[in-house]
Amino acid sequence: MKATKRSMDVSYAIRDILLPARELEKQGHEIIKLHIGDPNKWDFETPKHVRDALCRAVEVNDNGYADSEGYVDLRRSILEKERQKNGINVGIDDCIITNGVTEAIQTISAAVIDAGDEVLVPGPGYPTYSEFTKFFGGVPVSYRADESNGWEPDVDDIRRKITPRTKYITIINPNNPTGSLYSDKVLKEIIDIAGENDLFIISDEIYDLMTFDGTHHSTASLSKDVPVILFNGFSKVDLLPGWRLGYTVFNDPQGKLDEIKEGMMRQLRLRISANNPCQMAVIEALEGPKDHLEVTNRKLRERRDYVVKRINSIPGLSTATPHGAFYIFPKIESKHWKNDNDFVLDVLHNAHVLLVPGSGFCPQFGSMHFRAVFLPPVETLAKAFDSIEDYMNKVA
């Protein structure tokens, strides 16, 4: 019995790389895991008042299904956050709750992409966008991010790669995997290109409040008439990755995306609803104290500064400085390795540190790089990069 080709063609480097690490763990090796963006696996903790809100929600909620669009009070709270932070004023029907941003990517892809359609995605960029595009028969087209310019998008490359089959442009800001925080100038230029070509923009902003050198500005806040679909959620900033709650906001004053929104909603009705008690409880994350965020960003800035200095001191590696999120995307300059996958596997087996191959984020623009998180305490990061450096000194 055979699985479909579309399912067997799916790859997700961030979790696929965990499989050989598990084999080493079975042999008794301790692996330092710098592969996945889960703050709660380290010394970050979901705020107590949010955890308490979930306990209360389970008691007062009927624990039945929620509306397919999402719990209405949560949607109102989200729209108030987007109004205050980004100046976005849309109606309640323009906000939809999903099981993480992943479900939003999946349902939008299914609603928009027919066989042969093209989607512009950042290269390197979060692989789920490319994978779902391919899953539904489309073609992901990577536009270049300029490593020498802090990994900002190459606007001329975006313009060159638009064809009659292009459906939309994807922006991830702050970026995963590079940690780049895009300038308003670049965002406005991308918006102009989308408008000139009658395209819409998907703007993934899940790391919006995790920045170290500058302030995040939403693509939707800079767009006057180009439709922008904003993706965000609670996994990162609110330290709730396991709750699997995301949201979509349609900033579409002219109603150009009404049918696409309905195509998305038809799928979400089919899956019934997102987690009901968690939706009720996560309002506390939006409206309650955010004291944890200052502490979180202070820790991340310290750890970012450490890994940048440390990586740039290791012969055979170099890195740009990330300005948001908690990822770093170093370049493998050593000629000892022919590709980034070999480098990552060798580091795993010999240094016992788990990284992610850069080509998993884009075969072209991610090649000969790797992604690491700087979520662990400095002591753990020091142990990891000591081990990497010792190994590289032996072989390179």
* Res 23: pLDDT: 96
Give the structural domain span for 350. 5-45+291-395
- If asked whether residues 239 and 138 sit together in one domain, one would say yes
Taken in order 278, 279, 282, 283, is the CA torsion positive or negative? Answer: negative
- If asked whether residues 239 and 300 sit together in one domain, one would say no
- If asked whether residues 264 and 154 sit together in one domain, one would say yes
CATH number of the domain at 362, please: 3.90.1150.10
- Give tens-digit pLDDT for 253-305: 999 999 999 999 999 999 999 999 999 999 999 999 999 999 999 999 999 99
- If asked whether residues 179 and 213 sit together in one domain, one would say yes
Q: How far is CA 52 from CA 38, 44, 109, 187, in A?
A: 21, 17, 36, 39
C-alpha atoms less than 13 angstroms from C-alpha of 8 in its C-beta half-sphere: 4
* Res 268: pLDDT: 98
What distance in Å separates the CA atoms of residue 361 and residue 178, rounded to the nearest whole number? 10
- Give tens-digit pLDDT for 55-100: 999 999 999 999 999 999 999 999 999 999 999 999 999 999 999 9
- If asked whether residues 258 and 339 sit together in one domain, one would say no
Contact criterion met (CB below 8 Å) for 156 and 172 = no
- If asked whether residues 129 and 190 sit together in one domain, one would say yes
- If asked whether residues 305 and 190 sit together in one domain, one would say no
Domain boundary pick from 236, 271, 287: 287
* Res 290: pLDDT: 94
- Give tens-digit pLDDT for 304-348: 999 999 999 999 999 999 999 999 999 999 999 999 999 999 999
What distance in Å separates the CA atoms of residue 25 and residue 164, rounded to the nearest whole number? 49
- If asked whether residues 157 and 245 sit together in one domain, one would say yes
- If asked whether residues 277 and 317 sit together in one domain, one would say no
What distance in Å separates the CA atoms of residue 22 and residue 25, rounded to the nearest whole number? 5
* Res 396: pLDDT: 74
pTM of the model: 0.95
CATH number of the domain at 52, please: 3.40.640.10
Contact criterion met (CB below 8 Å) for 366 and 123 = yes
Q: How far is CA 57 from CA 49, 60, 63, 328, 359, in A?
A: 12, 5, 9, 37, 42
- If asked whether residues 253 and 386 sit together in one domain, one would say no
Q: Going by DSSP bridges, is the β-strand pair 152-153/356-357 parallel, antiparallel, or unpaired?
A: unpaired
Domain boundary pick from 222, 254, 287: 287
pLDDT band at 174 (very low <50, low <70, confident <90, very high): very high
Domain boundary pick from 238, 256, 287: 287
Please give the tally of structural domains in the chain: 2
- If asked whether residues 69 and 118 sit together in one domain, one would say yes
- If asked whether residues 165 and 93 sit together in one domain, one would say yes
